[in-house]
Amino acid sequence: MRNIRFMAVIVVMLVAMATVATAGHNMFGVADMQKITFIDPIRVGEVLLPQGNYEVRHVMEGDNHIMVFKQLNVNKPVQARVQCSLVKLAAKAEQTQKIYVVSTNNERILRELIFRGDTAKHVF
């Protein structure tokens, strides 16, 4: 009886560890929610996001991948919704990267987001 209880505890612990190891990532290889900081204003789709901290959610609308940016720690948060494509990475991302271009009027325009630990990048 004692051995059965011990084995049950081990099995529960292994299941819990496996759940924690895969938590947050969906079948596309990206986390459903991330946080990011922009140190300068940046254009995402049609919206110019002010500098600051953001919660970024990856949601599906039918077959469309949508990134929802919501500003944190402000009274009237700015939000942006923009469609993205997922591009598989060769390996798990080791660091978070923000890839943008600078327009002729010196505005940063977000082109790609890679979050640490994801196996795909978001391309806008």
Q: What does the pLDDT average to over 68-82?
A: 97
For residue 93 the two structure tokens come to 């991302």
CA 75 vs CA 26, 70, 72, 78, 93: distances in Å: 31, 12, 9, 10, 33
Of the pLDDT bands very low, low, confident and very high (cuts 50, 70, 90), residue 13 is very low
Mean pLDDT of the chain: 86
Confidence category of residue 92, pLDDT binned at 50, 70, 90? very high
Q: How confident is the model at residue 4 (pLDDT cuts 50, 70, 90)?
A: low
Distance CA 43, CA 101 (A): 10
- The predicted model gives 79-92 an average pLDDT of 96
Backbone angles phi, psi at 73, to 5 degrees: 65, 35
- pLDDT (tens digit per residue) in 19-74: 434 444 567 889 999 999 999 999 999 999 999 999 999 999 999 999 999 999 99
Tell me: pLDDT of 18 over 60: no
pLDDT at 58: 96
Tokens (6 digits) for 56: 């970024």
Does the pLDDT at position 16 exceed 60? no
